[in-house]
Structure 1
Amino acid sequence: MSKPRTGTDRAATDVNPLQPTHTESPTTIGPARVFRDTLYTSRTLIMPDGRTVPVIAGQVTACGDDQYAFLKAHPDMQQLTE
């Protein structure tokens, strides 16, 4: 046997928790900047600020401008062109 709904129960169930609460326009993401490691197929690079950048299957993707600059300056990294 179920309990009848009251007005407050109905109002709580009408809210959709999966809807976004803000309406900011998404920022555009540029093309992925992938580098090939010329020495290793697997390793972890450590940036000067302490963040890590994993090399997997001989490749690494720069996720931001700071990672791109770090990988571009690294002597063992070669940027792949698509």
Structure 2
Amino acid sequence: MATKKPTDAEPRTPASVTYRDSVFTSRVLIVGERQLNVAAGKLQVDEADAEALAYLEAHADFERLPPAE
């Protein structure tokens, strides 16, 4: 019977960045040809998504929140 060997490397999940929407608790943002959804006043995007990050950083409605520990 084969046994599964333990691995030291855990599956890596993409890191995300959270923004707070200071104006709306719910809205849909159109960035390029896709949608970003604000829910409960917050929005999460992948940290590798340069287009979304640039859009959010350019608008005063969005505040980047510190990462949760």
Q: Under TM normalisation by the shorter chain, which class is it? A: 0.5 to 0.7
Percent sequence identity over aligned pairs = 35
Unmatched 5+ stretches in structure 2: 1-10
- Distance in 1, Cα, partners of 2:59 & 2:12: 28
- Distance in 2, Cα, partners of 1:77 & 1:54: 13
Which one-letter code corresponds to 1:41 in the other structure?
Answer: T
Q: Which has a greater percent of helix?
A: 1
Number of residue pairs the alignment of both structures matches: 55
Moved over 3 A (4+): 26-29
Q: Return the structure number with greater relative CO, CA threshold 8 A, min gap 6.
A: 2
Q: Which has a greater percent of strand?
A: 2
Which one-letter code corresponds to 2:61 in the other structure?
Answer: D
- Distance in 2, Cα, partners of 1:43 & 1:58: 9
| TM-score (norm. length: structure 2) | 0.66
1:40 aligns with 2:24: yes
Could you tell me which residue of structure 1 aligns to residue 51 of structure 2? 66
Q: How far apart are residue 50 of structure 1 and its match?
A: 2.7
Unmatched 5+ stretches in structure 1: 1-25
- Distance in 2, Cα, partners of 1:72 & 1:50: 19
Q: How far apart are residue 65 of structure 1 and its match?
A: 2.0
Please provide the CA RMSD for this pair: 1.9
